[in-house]
Amino acid sequence: MARPMGPVRLRRTNYVTLSIGAALCIFIIYFLTSPGGHSRSTTKHSSPIPKPSHKVRRDVQRFDLNKVTITNDPVGNKEKILILTPMARFYQEYWDNLVKLNYPHELITLGFILPKSKEGNAATTALQAQITKTQKGARPFRKVIIERQDFEPPLASQDESERHKLANQKDRRAAMSKARNSLLFTTLGPDTSWVLWLDADIVETPPTLIQDLASHNKDLIVPNCFQRYTDDSGKLAERAYDFNSWQDSNTAQELAATMGPEDLLLEGYEELPTYRTLMAYMELEDMNDVRAEVPLDGVGGTALLVKADVHRDGAMFPPFPFYHLIETEGFAKMARRLGWHATGLPNYKVYHYNE
């Protein structure tokens, strides 16, 4: 039966191919016409914690900021505190320490900002896992806000050596300032009394950190930031870590006077001998008096408690050289220009992660 098969088969599969073709066409047309809508719906479901559908309150909300108190007894006055952390890496020790803080958790709002990099994604996932666990637990925090941002210029490397090179400092700390400001000004809100800046690599603090710092009732207050390590002989020891808390010196002032407007006067670099009095190396008469206070001109941001009013007045972390200072040091200067003072607690220690 020499009979051509072609046309028969063609006709028989016609309906199927047609319908498949039609289906494909519909898909193609759909993707061509509405790429935005579809990608939005996929991203919406791909993140572990979906973006909340924006619920709008129609009523008129009134906030009387005259009634937001800032006192040395924050627990007694039920003062709300905002703990802000710019995060590039997640350390379990950080989270454990944070959860251990014994300030009433229902008064604590947590704010995190993470870069949109591979490292940032990993940190976000780890962080969200811990948040979910804690928020389902017995002592959930009042609110947790996670923000993601593209850092421009991107933080190329987070290695200790690379991170601390003088030339990289300006860009790195400018990006850091912007991250801090973004986090701060979107979360401050109308009812916060205190803002605690706590770096993601602070792994050990007294559980009473907030009460202890607030009891001094200072505008800006910084504990001393140390780092635990094992020395050559294998013993546990500690060393100073944060050199951004200092009292100004004449040498530094003179040095600053000779600089161009875009130059930075940084601390802890041999190229720039400033002879500032660093809180990290302060020799006090009584080494055990944890309540000893010293006035400061520059502050570090590893742990830093600030009255919310200081930020509300506009004091922020300058991402540009402000009196030759940047980030947290520039923040202290800007606060000073607005009439707020910085204080340090040389004997009150918090500990940084050892890399």
Partner 1 sequence: MMSRHHSGAYANGYPRAKTFEISPHRFQPRASTPATRRRRKLLIRLGIFATLAILFGLFVWPGSNTIVSIFSLGLVSANNDVVMDTVRYYDLSNVQGTARGWEREERILLCVPLRDAEPHLAMMFSHLHNFTYPHHLIDLAFLVSDSKDRTLEVLVDRLEALQADEDPKQPYGEISIIEKDFGQKVEQDVESRHGFAAQASRRKLMAQARNWLLSAALRPYHSWVYWRDVDVETAPFTILEDLMRHNKDVIVPNVWRPLPDWLGGEQPYDLNSWQESETALALADTLDEDAVIVEGYAEYATWRPHLAYLRDPYGDPDMEMEIDGVGGVSILAKAKVFRSGVHFPAFSFEKHAETEGFGKMAKRMQYSVVGLPHYTIWHLYEPSVDDIKHMEEMEQERKAKEQEEKQKTEKEKKIKEQFSDASSQWEKDKTEIQNLAKQEPKKEGKQDTKKEAKADAKKGSTSEDKKTTGEGAEDDSNTESKSKSKDDSDKVSEKPAKDQAKKVES
Range 117-156, binding partner 1 (CB under 8 A) = 131-132, 135-136, 140-150
Cβ-based nearer residue to partner 1, 61 or 250: 61
Instruction: Report whether 265 contacts 298 (CB < 8 A).
Output: no
Cβ-based nearer residue to partner 1, 74 or 318: 318
Cβ-based nearer residue to partner 1, 139 or 239: 139
Least distance to partner 1, CB of residue 202, Å: 22
Least distance to partner 1, CB of residue 172, Å: 16
Least distance to partner 1, CB of residue 173, Å: 13
| Region from 53-61, 243-251, 263-271, 277-285 binding partner 1, contact rule CB under 8 A | 53-61
Number of residues that bind partner 1 (CB under 8 A): 75
Site residues (CB under 8 A) for partner 1, limited to 1-20: 1, 3, 5, 8, 11-12, 15-16, 19-20
Instruction: Report whether 69 contacts 79 (CB < 8 A).
Output: yes
Contacts of 177 (CB under 8 A, 6+ apart): 316, 317, 318, 319, 326, 327, 330
CA distance 161 to 168: 11
Cβ-based nearer residue to partner 1, 23 or 166: 23
DSSP summary character for residue 162: H
Cβ neighbours around 3 below 10 Å, total: 5
CA 329 from centre of chain:
16
Site residues (CB under 8 A) for partner 1, limited to 151-180: 177-178
Least distance to partner 1, CB of residue 224, Å: 27
CA distance 191 to 68: 6
Among candidate residues 113, 87, 112, 83, the one with its CA nearest the CA of residue 98: 83
Cβ-based nearer residue to partner 1, 31 or 275: 31
- Say whether 288 sits in a helix, a strand or coil: coil
Instruction: Report whether 321 contacts 261 (CB < 8 A).
Output: yes
Site residues (CB under 8 A) for partner 1, limited to 20-49: 20, 22-23, 26, 30, 37-38, 41, 45, 47-49
Cβ-based nearer residue to partner 1, 94 or 151: 151
Least distance to partner 1, CB of residue 311, Å: 6
Contact code string over 183-202 relative to partner 1, x by CB under 8 A = --xxxxxx------------
**Paired sense of beta strands 277-278 and 294-296, if any:** unpaired
Cβ neighbours around 185 below 10 Å, total: 12
Site residues (CB under 8 A) for partner 1, limited to 54-73: 54, 56-66
Among candidate residues 215, 335, 346, 242, the one with its CA nearest the CA of residue 284: 346
Cβ-based nearer residue to partner 1, 187 or 205: 187
Site residues (CB under 8 A) for partner 1, limited to 268-327: 311-314, 316-320
Least distance to partner 1, CB of residue 353, Å: 25
Instruction: Please say whether the dihedral angle defined by the alpha carbons of residues 204, 207, 214 and 347, taken in this order, is positive or negative.
Output: negative
Q: How many residues does the chain have?
A: 355
